[in-house]
Structure 1
Amino acid sequence: MGGWGVVAVMVRKATTRAARLAAAPRTDVTAAGPALWQDRTVVDGTPLPSDEAPSDALLRLAAAYGVVPDHWGFHGDLRRASAWTLRAVLAALGVDASSRERIDVALAHVEDSPWRRVLPPVVVVRAGQGAHLPVHVTHGDPVSVVLDLDPETGGGRRDLAQADVYVEPRTVDGRLVGRATFWLPADLPLGWHTVEAAGPSANGRATVVVTPDRLELPERLRTGRAWGYMAQLYSVRSRRSWGIGDLVDLADLGWMAGHETGADFLLINPLHAAEPAAPMTPSPYLPTTRRFVNPVYVRPEAVPEAAYLSSADRSLLEWSAEPVLALDLDPGPIDRDAAWTAKRAALEVVFAVPRSAARQAAFEAFVEEQGSGLSTFALWCALAEKYGAETIPPELGDPASAAVAAERVLLADRVAFHTWLQWVADEQLGAAQRAALEGGMALGIMQDLAVGVHPLGADVWSLGDVLARGATVGAPPDMYNQQGQNWSQPPWRPDELARAAYKPYRDMLRTVLRHAGAIRIDHVIGLFRLWWIPEGVDSDQGAYVRYDHEALVGILALEAHRAGAVVIGEDLGTVEPWVRDYLSSRGILGTSVLWFEQDHTGAPLAPEHYRHLVLATVTTHDLPPTAGYLAGEHVAIRERLGLLTDPVAVVRREADAERDRMLAALRSRGLLPDDPTEREVVEALHRYVMATPAALIAVALVDAVGERRAQNQPGTDQEYPNWKVPLGDSTGQVVLVDDLFGNARLRSLAAVLDS
């Protein structure tokens, strides 16, 4: 893939504090035990991995846990992981492979492990495709198996029949264990079912998840297409915002976009929760949890109880708002800390207002529905307020400990406040989705799901072993990032996620999909494999770990089906062709960005050769807006920040050549007039995308108003105001929601999309 635009795609979104965490020296690299590090040498006090080749036994153990020992490098060479890397990744999976004897023990354990369980923790099967269910008992003992159907599908109970399948018994822990095979019928309804086994030596429960074979698209996308906008919500402010775009702005933006311009959806940045107290991480792609919402997006006076404030309390709310309301027209970086400090003070006043009986009942119903996940998150927020999100004392590291239970009692009022914040955020987000649909949108709000979470956030604290310790997610070296990348985010552990019956994953999806007509999955290849980097080493010392993509994609399809949502997977970069084919076969759309779609000669890919099941766009948030890209801003900014490794003249020449190839493609199709203006070029690029068969087409809101400043500059931490740039026009002047749909440039571009 040619052109400098591709650089941004290959660099992920971990910026600000995550970049510092990744670069900081680690003090916990020996957490898996001293033996893991015995084959290392030391240079200037730093242990270095050895290049020892892995033994056959180590390779077998790695394969048993889905750790891939080799991959193809960006030069086309087969890269093999060292024995040290495999041992370190296995250690992050909770497996001690520090010696041949321990490897043998681990191999025996992983082979015997299924036989120690009466039932597997979870079985994920597609609708219409029956499956065998293994049940382990003392050899010769009888057993019966019953399936309780998901209450959401009508409930009911079925006795399962045993299949005529013989499996040789196995001696495990001195006991001869037999396997009885039962048949899960092909006519099971979609849903989360429970299976129970009972017998003299067999009492167990497990989850059976029946997923759609294919997520069916809405009729409109099967026979036609839909278009919409992409926006960074925090950047889109109104005259009533508190210095940052919020959920009321989202409701107005969605309704106006549908009613005034005929748009069908609005793709926004992830709304995942950040830290509950300053400093708040700016990147929406590095949240503390992906399940819950950042209350910085709540509009305090839109909470119904705000209407019943006393005069004195009303004054407190107005005083809190006054300094940040003045920031709405400030073209400088958005100050999340100032906005949240003001909002939190106001929301605490509103929280104290008694709720009506109906409102209290609705609040309690929300709390009950969200269950222990919400109460645990609210407790983490209270602890993070008290101690600092990154400095919660080690003795409070276990949510189930007596010390944490004592803190829950002491912090009960703050836990209640943070629980309430999620309720009011959910209410305002639901109102935004309703407004978008009432404005005429076909899909409404399209949520964005980040690839991971902050290494010191709520999910890491609350989910226990489901998130790995001792490794982070990143990417191996490629031609654009020759040292590899470390995104500082702990990965799911595939084994523990399955042991938890995928319920943390399900709960996250359900919350994100509650008020969404569609969802975009960032780095969707992460549902298939992730590059794990052991702590304390460079990014090139990692290895891929495979996931059960059949289960993860199936559950995603099930939860989207239940929510009535379309799913888009961000499949940019290096993705095996079979993965795109697989996702398409399951009804998951892909992603196409104009600048990155090229044929075998490096020329822009002809529109008719685009895939149908994609969300197609001209640009992405990791590039400057199109006006800036055409002007070479992606080169200029890297030069200013010292990020170029090649001479600037060479980089500019390549960028100019890329732009000229695109302009030539536009002219060849009669899409450009002679001597076009910048606006005409931007509109021609969108007409080019409109000529594709793509089911979904999106226009960046920044392109609609002529903005040139990038939202995110990959590869920077403090050097650039990532995720802080307010929506502005070509001169950098702020464009408010109040004035947005009177903007002549937006209406002209919208006419291209709505033609």
Structure 2
Amino acid sequence: MTASLIDYLVTNCGIESNYTDAWGKPTTIDMSTKKKLLQVMGYQVDNAELLEKQIEDSVNKSWLSPLNPVQVIRNNQDLQISVRLPIELVTDEYQAQITTEQGQVKSFTFSPIDGQLANVCHIEDIEFQEYIIDLPIDLPLGYHSLALVIDDDELATMRLIVAPVACFKPEALVQGEKVWGLSVQLYCLRSETNWGIGDFTDLSYLLENAAKQGAHFIGLNPIHALYPANPDVCSPYGPSSRRWLNFIYIDVTAVDGYTQTAVQAIVNNDEFQAKLKEARDTDLVDYSTVTALKLKALEAVFAYQNKKYLSSNSKLNKAFKSFIADGGESLQTLAVYDALQEHLAAQGKDSWGWPVFPKEYAEYSLPKVKTFAKKYAARIKFYLWLQWQAALQLEQANNIATSNNMHIGLYRDLAVGVSEGSAEIWGNQDLYCVDASVGAPPDVLGPLGQSWGLPPMDPEKLYQQQYQPIIDLFNANMHATGALRIDHVMALLRLWWVPKENSAKQGGYVYYPVDDLLGILALESHRHQSMVIGEDLGTVPPEIRDKLAENGVYSYRVFFFEQAEDGGFYSPAHYPEQSMSTLTTHDMPTLSGFWHCHDLQLGKELGLYPTEEILQTLYADRHENKQAILDTLHGHSSISQDISSDVNYVGMSEALNNGMQLHMAGGSSELLSLQLEDWLQMDNPVNVPGTFNEYPNWRRKLTSNLQDIFTDASLNKLAANLTEVRKTSSV
């Protein structure tokens, strides 16, 4: 009995039993992993009686709900809904009353018996029937509410989401233009004015000057909120909240009130200036020092604004209150979390995340948390204000892109999840399966598989919450952007779940409602006029690439991964037009690092290779790949004949570096993204996958100030050539 129940749940919960791995080999998930996955979803798999009761309760709950929680349709589809009722009620007359997002009310009267019978169930000797009802009602795009009404009584409600058939695409791309842009890790930027970390003013400068060089976008690393009280936890891919921003990117000097005497007394203090100089001069971002300096200065600026504007009925306070109201509970949760984590850390208590908070603070909704929020309301207001200032400065940067006629402008990166101890999970623990982590099965980049320490959303709970968390996520990350890059976009279809205590390769795929999620993505994309790029690397099922393409999501093509079976590299001219191409990513070595094998040497020093034999195999493969790259570049006349065709005599040079970038520029991808690190011919990577404390990930700065980059004649020439080649490839 238990085995059949588990088989039923495996199917019903979207757990995949078989998949094709990165090498094309059919692979089966063992039963023990399936049971663990069901356990982390909350099922009592070791107790047949309890498990049967759980399934029965779940089925009954569904049948006792006349309507589904939510339904997503495309605007080219007919509107149909499912209605479930006891058999004695199916001949009655009902009204479907739809209130559109715009406030219009549209009604249709029907009897379920006139619809299509879809299913039947018996609960305690009562027969329930499910009917498919056609509603001849035209609805605009948006989020609408449907109520099932009989005799003026409302039996149930559901959300109706009407979405376009595909994501937004800028008119310039529709007309066939092919463009290029730069991708940056914002924290890596050096400038003459920042405080040891790139900021939103640097971003504005970069946008304006890149636009003058012919670039049409600047791509950012995730700029999600991290942990002010724990600044050394700095991975942008393990955030506290994906809806809100990392305050560390605020340019303190650009905030109203910075020039006040009280603020200047703090920042001009000798000790403050000494620390600021040290933070600027170091080659690695010193997150602890930068955070401390910015918080100290921003506290003083906030004190000024709070006294002058934010405690009265001023125009500024109205704008602040509007921002807070729009942010809702999600914003309040983050601000309270930041203040509470700071409070616990100051007391010397365990505070890395809510799992180690005192029990009375272990969840946002607890009474003690509300008491804390009242007592420390002033500090919480400060953290709310930080989010407001960050949002204002990001919007200003986006305005720079618009005013410089960039076809895309800013594009943001959406991380695949939040870390276990995050504010996002603290505020909605029911949505997340905290006893599992998302990751990836074994593949070329990670032969042992990967576990990222990011608890997955439960797809059923997401459905029951009417997809609101996903709607909020897309809405927040598309605001003030021209494009959104979705990290590990396969997550819309399926995610590799790894139960705690299991190795990364002992996981399994769990499926998500991909068509619904893509519909919501398309709707938000059009609302924000923001195109979508999906990072589709790793173990990618063929159906997701086709589905993404149909939905207007751009593929992500990395030159070094576009390799044929014979070892040769595909010409960028053969990439899909609906794609963004690039040479390298933040998880890969730079061009120079790749060519000179610095990544392999670094991996040896960090102990990433179990045996010398493995390392030597990697060196041999790299040698062959470099020769194949040279063959490709010469075959397409992308580099000068002055560069040897024999890899044994070719080191990385400016000519080879630029030739590779121009080779990509001549390709068919509508978007070309280039790394600033490669413009500067840097060696060291910003991140080494598989390391934690062994390497200073997410800290390495650029080797040049922004101001110097845009006065460099050779880089100006490269930019001009890229612009010209892209224009030529557009014809």
TM-score by length of 1: 0.88
Please give the alpha-carbon distance, in whole angstroms, between the structure 1 residues aligned to 2:156 and 2:519: 24
Q: Which amino acid aligns with 2:722?
A: L
Q: 1:715 aligns with which of 687, 690, 695?
A: 690
Shift of 1:709: 1.2
Q: Any residues of structure 2 matched to 1:422-461 within 5 Å, and which? A: 422-461=387-426
Between 1:199-208 and 1:467-476, the stretch displaced more is 199-208
Are 2:322 and 1:365 equivalent residues in the alignment?
Answer: yes
Please give the alpha-carbon distance, in whole angstroms, between the structure 2 residues aligned to 1:328 and 1:586: 45
Q: 1:339 aligns with which of 275, 286, 290?
A: 290
Please give the alpha-carbon distance, in whole angstroms, between the structure 1 residues aligned to 2:118 and 2:435: 38
Please give the alpha-carbon distance, in whole angstroms, between the structure 1 residues aligned to 2:406 and 2:321: 31
Q: 1:305 aligns with which of 215, 237, 257?
A: 257
3-state DSSP of counterpart to 1:506: helix
Shift of 1:54: 8.8
Shift of 1:360: 1.1
Say if 1:161 and 1:602 are closer, same or farther in 2 by CA, change over 3 A: farther
Say if 1:166 and 1:642 are closer, same or farther in 2 by CA, change over 3 A: closer
Q: 2:560 aligns with which of 579, 595, 601?
A: 595
On the 8 A contact 1:282/1:336 being kept in 2, the answer is yes
On the 8 A contact 2:167/2:521 being kept in 1, the answer is no
Please give the alpha-carbon distance, in whole angstroms, between the structure 1 residues aligned to 2:543 and 2:554: 14
Are 2:133 and 1:182 equivalent residues in the alignment?
Answer: yes
3-state DSSP of counterpart to 2:76: coil
Q: 1:198 aligns with which of 133, 136, 149?
A: 149
Between 1:104-113 and 1:229-238, the stretch displaced more is 104-113
On the 8 A contact 1:272/1:291 being kept in 2, the answer is yes
Between 1:439-448 and 1:415-424, the stretch displaced more is 439-448
3-state DSSP of counterpart to 1:170: strand
Shift of 1:328: 5.8
- Unaligned 5+ segments in structure 1 are 1-52, 729-734
Q: 2:639 aligns with which of 666, 672, 676?
A: 672
Say if 1:266 and 1:244 are closer, same or farther in 2 by CA, change over 3 A: same
Structure 2 partner of 1:46: none
3-state DSSP of counterpart to 1:448: strand
Please give the alpha-carbon distance, in whole angstroms, between the structure 2 residues aligned to 1:480 and 1:624: 12
Between 1:88-97 and 1:446-455, the stretch displaced more is 88-97
Are 2:208 and 1:255 equivalent residues in the alignment?
Answer: yes
Please give the alpha-carbon distance, in whole angstroms, between the structure 2 residues aligned to 1:659 and 1:325: 43
Please give the alpha-carbon distance, in whole angstroms, between the structure 2 residues aligned to 1:54 and 1:720: 47
Please give the alpha-carbon distance, in whole angstroms, between the structure 1 residues aligned to 2:189 and 2:444: 35
On the 8 A contact 2:633/2:663 being kept in 1, the answer is yes
Q: Any residues of structure 2 matched to 1:511-526 within 5 Å, and which? A: 511-526=476-491
On the 8 A contact 1:445/1:517 being kept in 2, the answer is yes
Q: Any residues of structure 2 matched to 1:233-382 within 5 Å, and which? A: 233-259=186-212, 261-307=213-259, 309=260, 311-319=261-269, 322-327=273-278, 329-353=280-304, 354-355=308-309, 357-382=314-339
Say if 1:482 and 1:700 are closer, same or farther in 2 by CA, change over 3 A: closer
Q: 1:166 aligns with which of 113, 117, 122?
A: 117
Shift of 1:406: 0.8
Structure 1 partner of 2:584: 619
Q: Any residues of structure 2 matched to 1:743-754 within 5 Å, and which? A: 743-754=712-723
3-state DSSP of counterpart to 2:244: coil
Say if 1:100 and 1:306 are closer, same or farther in 2 by CA, change over 3 A: same
TM-score by length of 2: 0.91
Are 2:85 and 1:134 equivalent residues in the alignment?
Answer: no
Shift of 1:123: 0.5
Please give the alpha-carbon distance, in whole angstroms, between the structure 1 residues aligned to 2:575 and 2:665: 11
Structure 2 partner of 1:700: 675
On the 8 A contact 1:615/1:697 being kept in 2, the answer is yes
Shift of 1:132: 2.0
On the 8 A contact 2:117/2:129 being kept in 1, the answer is no
On the 8 A contact 2:484/2:530 being kept in 1, the answer is yes
Between 1:590-599 and 1:77-86, the stretch displaced more is 77-86
Q: Which amino acid aligns with 2:621?
A: E
Shift of 1:174: 5.2
Q: 2:495 aligns with which of 530, 540, 547?
A: 530
Shift of 1:144: 2.1
Q: Which amino acid aligns with 1:751?
A: A
Shift of 1:76: 4.8
On the 8 A contact 2:168/2:530 being kept in 1, the answer is no
Please give the alpha-carbon distance, in whole angstroms, between the structure 2 residues aligned to 1:433 and 1:350: 24
Shift of 1:217: 1.3
Say if 1:616 and 1:169 are closer, same or farther in 2 by CA, change over 3 A: closer
3-state DSSP of counterpart to 1:290: strand
Say if 1:105 and 1:751 are closer, same or farther in 2 by CA, change over 3 A: same
Please give the alpha-carbon distance, in whole angstroms, between the structure 1 residues aligned to 2:219 and 2:22: 32
On the 8 A contact 1:638/1:644 being kept in 2, the answer is yes
Please give the alpha-carbon distance, in whole angstroms, between the structure 2 residues aligned to 1:622 and 1:481: 12
Say if 1:184 and 1:637 are closer, same or farther in 2 by CA, change over 3 A: farther
3-state DSSP of counterpart to 1:195: strand
Number of residue pairs the alignment of both structures matches: 691
Alignment deviations for residues 498-524 of structure 1 (CA, whole Å, 9 cap, x no partner) = 111111111122111111110100000
Please give the alpha-carbon distance, in whole angstroms, between the structure 2 residues aligned to 1:165 and 1:202: 23
Shift of 1:111: 3.5
Are 2:370 and 1:413 equivalent residues in the alignment?
Answer: no
Shift of 1:569: 0.1
Please give the alpha-carbon distance, in whole angstroms, between the structure 2 residues aligned to 1:430 and 1:573: 33
Structure 1 partner of 2:646: none
Say if 1:237 and 1:332 are closer, same or farther in 2 by CA, change over 3 A: closer
Q: Any residues of structure 2 matched to 1:447-526 within 5 Å, and which? A: 447-526=412-491
Structure 2 partner of 1:552: 517
Say if 1:283 and 1:58 are closer, same or farther in 2 by CA, change over 3 A: same
Backbone CA RMSD of aligned residues: 2.1
Q: Which amino acid aligns with 2:696?
A: P
Are 2:43 and 1:90 equivalent residues in the alignment?
Answer: no
Q: Which amino acid aligns with 1:255?
A: E
Shift of 1:75: 5.8
Say if 1:221 and 1:240 are closer, same or farther in 2 by CA, change over 3 A: same
Structure 2 partner of 1:13: none
3-state DSSP of counterpart to 1:698: strand
On the 8 A contact 1:239/1:325 being kept in 2, the answer is no
Shift of 1:565: 0.4
Q: Which amino acid aligns with 2:638?
A: L
Structure 1 partner of 2:348: none
Q: Any residues of structure 2 matched to 1:107-122 within 5 Å, and which? A: 107-122=55-70
Please give the alpha-carbon distance, in whole angstroms, between the structure 2 residues aligned to 1:270 and 1:174: 54
Please give the alpha-carbon distance, in whole angstroms, between the structure 2 residues aligned to 1:276 and 1:267: 24
- Unaligned 5+ segments in structure 2 are 345-350, 644-651, 725-731
Please give the alpha-carbon distance, in whole angstroms, between the structure 1 residues aligned to 2:543 and 2:506: 26
Say if 1:60 and 1:169 are closer, same or farther in 2 by CA, change over 3 A: closer
Alignment deviations for residues 436-480 of structure 1 (CA, whole Å, 9 cap, x no partner) = 222332211110001111101101101121111211111222355
Please give the alpha-carbon distance, in whole angstroms, between the structure 1 residues aligned to 2:224 and 2:405: 26
Shift of 1:584: 0.8
3-state DSSP of counterpart to 2:242: coil
Please give the alpha-carbon distance, in whole angstroms, between the structure 1 residues aligned to 2:216 and 2:240: 31
Alignment deviations for residues 600-637 of structure 1 (CA, whole Å, 9 cap, x no partner) = 32200023221111110111111122122111112221
Between 1:74-83 and 1:377-386, the stretch displaced more is 74-83
Q: Which amino acid aligns with 1:248?
A: T
Alignment deviations for residues 62-91 of structure 1 (CA, whole Å, 9 cap, x no partner) = 111111123234565443333332222112
